[in-house]
Structure 1
Amino acid sequence: MTKPSRLMRFAGSHDLRCQTCSLSALCVPSTLTLRDVERFESLTRQWPPLHKRQILLHQESPFSSLFVVRSGSLKQTSRCPSGDDQITHFFLPGELVGLDAIGAHHYPGTVTALETTTVCEIPYHHLDGQSDSVVGLREHLLQVMSRELHNERMLVRVLLRRTSDVRLASFFVAMSARFQRRGYSPHCFRLAMSRADIGSYLGLAVETVSRLLGRFQQSGLMTTRGREFEIHDLDALSRLAEGEGRQSALG
């Protein structure tokens, strides 16, 4: 696979306007003044579109920047000491890529586009230098990092303590909340990741994911059509995700 293209030409600053971006509320602190937003924009560079399977970052490459997903989606895959690959994260529009690299000073996984994806790069040394002068920027970053830490702990809880049906239900409840946070329907959405990707993320075989999706559909929890998902009973799915109501949900 090709290395992340540092030779790719960045789009000009006129192509990137945080003030008009529909996702700015997710990655730009609401407390920033117009002048602060303009300063934040000056730190940010837009990459040309990444195509499906194109790599944004390689595992163990030196940390230099954070990235904001503008459109599309990405997955992060980490190679374990055993040589196995494990998907550890999916990134949706408005989310930050690279927060888990700040402490170790290298990226802990390979980040790959699941579909045509656009990202904005924020060089960390510029961001760190502005975090004190731009009011609210450091607090916003800490809030995002805190949320990511919470999500990681929830994933560990799911993987270590839950059965396969509860893991999959937890995944769709979390995805529903993430889409709702972006102003989209929490009931109907499209996921670019494959069944195998979902299985890797949850520690399940792809056959198990397909079988459980069939059971969810038969029980009336949700309908699947390829990569299109429609949740019919979010409350019941949430109860299943909490380990409750398994008999009533799945029969």
Structure 2
Amino acid sequence: MVKTSENSISCLVSRLARFVELEEHERAFIAEMEKDERPLAKGRPVTSVGDPTKGVMVLKSGWAVVKAEGKDGRSQILRIYLPGEVIGLAEIGSTHTSHRIVMQTDGIICPFPRKGLAPLLTDYPRLAALLIAVGSLDQIALRHHAACLGSMDASRKLKFFLLQLRARLEVANVGLGNRFRVPFSQVEIGQAVGLTSIYVNKMLRAFIAAGEIEVERPYFRLLDRDNWEKDTEFVDAFVDMDTSWFPEPTKVANPAQF
């Protein structure tokens, strides 16, 4: 059974506060976004192809993945959502969802209606700018990942995948340092990087034998991160956000109720 996280610190607040110091009323708006908690177990669908898009969802805890199913029955993992990320921003301009999203682990989602986002633009412009900027960094990271899949050999693909996952986890303060959780089977890692599970297993064994990583499922520890970053020409999209264009935070007494 999935437990709620009523008293836990918001991962979305942790994620955003990495870039700016949030005002109290901005934190209050985020709390409003996270008010409707819905626990979901591992493997449960978050959205299905063709579902109407009613708004966004904060992934308050747990991991989720965007999946595509081929006609041959093979699955592809197109994106990984981590704690504190907002699901549905990519679909905000569409009436229906294009891909299936499922929970990779037990977790909690917080649906927030589309109409509730309107005050974000008028009453919380700095918070809106911050969400847009974070979304842009996510898109840059996805482009780096796509470039990796198209240009790197199997070894570098797997290295890049783990490096980027570590960097993204650090943003929400849920994966500090070089040791982090990877709640994926070797088959699922292969679905994310375009390799067979046999090749993933071969590469991981080679990394362990070379003293480059330690694996204590579900945790990985990167022991040779600096060299991996040089080898893959890794760019951390989340280390440098331009906040110079953000509007000044407005003073709002109470968050809007929806």
Q: Identity, % of aligned pairs?
A: 21
Gaps of 5+ in 1: 1-10, 244-251
Q: For 2:226, give the aligned amino acid.
A: D
Q: Quick check: 1:173–1:241 contact (8 Å CA) kept in 2?
A: no
Report the CA distance shift for 1:227/1:199 in structure 2 as closer, same or farther (over 3 A).
same
Q: Does 1:114 align with 2:104?
A: yes
Matches within 5 A, 1:10-49: 20-21=9-10, 23-27=12-16, 30=20, 32-49=22-39
Matches within 5 A, 1:1-251: 20-21=9-10, 23-27=12-16, 30=20, 32-80=22-70, 84-183=74-173, 184-242=175-233
Q: CA deviation at 1:226?
A: 2.9
Q: CA deviation at 1:233?
A: 1.2
TM-score (structure 2 length as normaliser): 0.79
Gaps of 5+ in 2: 235-258
Q: Matched residues in 1 for 2:116 and 2:48: separation?
A: 22
Report the CA distance shift for 1:223/1:43 in structure 2 as closer, same or farther (over 3 A).
closer
Q: CA deviation at 1:22?
A: 5.1
Q: CA RMSD in A?
A: 2.5
Report the CA distance shift for 1:32/1:124 in structure 2 as closer, same or farther (over 3 A).
farther
State the partner residue of 2:249.
none
Q: For 1:200, give the aligned amino acid.
A: Q
Q: Quick check: 2:212–2:223 contact (8 Å CA) kept in 1?
A: yes
Matched positions, count: 229
- SS of residue matched to 1:115: coil
- SS of residue matched to 2:50: coil
Q: CA deviation at 1:171?
A: 0.5
Deviations, residues 56-112 of structure 1 (Å, cap 9, x unaligned): 111221212212222221111023466643210111111121122123332222111
- SS of residue matched to 2:144: helix
Q: Matched residues in 2 for 1:187 and 1:161: separation?
A: 25
